[in-house]
Amino acid sequence: MALLTPLNPPIAAFAGLRVWLVGASTGIGAALAERLIAAGARVAVSARSADTLQATYAGRATILPLDMTDAAALQAAAGRLQAEWGGYDLVLAIAGTYAQMRADRYDESAALRIVELNLSGVFKLWGAVQAQLLAQGAGGFGIVSSVAGYGGLPNSMAYGATKAACNNLAQSMYLDLKRRGIAVYLIAPGFVATPLTAGNPFPMPFLISAEQAAQEIMDGLARGDFEIHFPRRFSRLLKFLNLLPHRLYFWLVGKGTGM
């Protein structure tokens, strides 16, 4: 039955798969790169820190240092991979940033930096790879979003807004690209122990390691999921809350976060 089939083609084997990870120096990106390399994938890694990439991946992956907000650098890196690999099977936009922010403690420059990387950077990466993927008529593009994009949360004014936009973007891209043979993945983690979350001054429910997050992503790709969200107990709770009337949603979220 069509309604029960995977939304994307399941990835039966990762060996030989050409994968470009943008945002692979630490956290989820680094853990995912390690799993893909171990599975035999042909991996390219990008991040701003050339030294970290070199120290971590020298001799094991193609190293393409860049800033995901730099459209020209992305175009150059994409061109190099096209020349060396002949295309790519999976491109993942992983790079992102986070800062606590409330509407009554607003920092405009910080908010715009978050928007530039978390949202504009995704558009720029797609702009760099879309011609090749469309010409191939195959391959996939994935966006690492967050469960924070499911509904408004305290202290998440800029970050949550960018992730909500990424959720919408991935859905739109799926509808546009499925008929062109291109898979689209929306990856929505909950709390993951990374350098970005290390400074959170509050308890993080259902916290998992970057290695656990990477395995969740690998499993979701293998199943052909469109939306890869985890840990399920937390992500399903937030999905449910967002179905409630606003009055009840605000009360429950406020009560649960002490706001």
**Beta-carbon-side half-sphere exposure of residue 164 (alpha carbons within 13 Å):** 14
Question: What are the catalytic residues?
Answer: 159
Burial 187-200 (b: 16+ CB within 10 A, else e): bbbbbbbbebeeee
What six digits make up the tokens of 153?
A: 């949360």
Q: Which residue has the tokens 């107990």?
A: 233
Q: Looking up tokens 């949550």, which residue turns up?
A: 160
Token match 């706001």: residue?
259
Residue 235: CB partners within 8 Å, gap ≥ 6? 147, 150, 188, 190, 229
DSSP string of 29-98?
A: HHHHHHHHHHTT-EEEEE-S-HHHHHHHHTTTSEE----TT-HHHHHHHHHHHHHHHSS-SEEEE-----
Gap between the Cα atoms of 164 and 145, Å rounded: 8
Closest CA to 24 of 59, 63, 76: 63
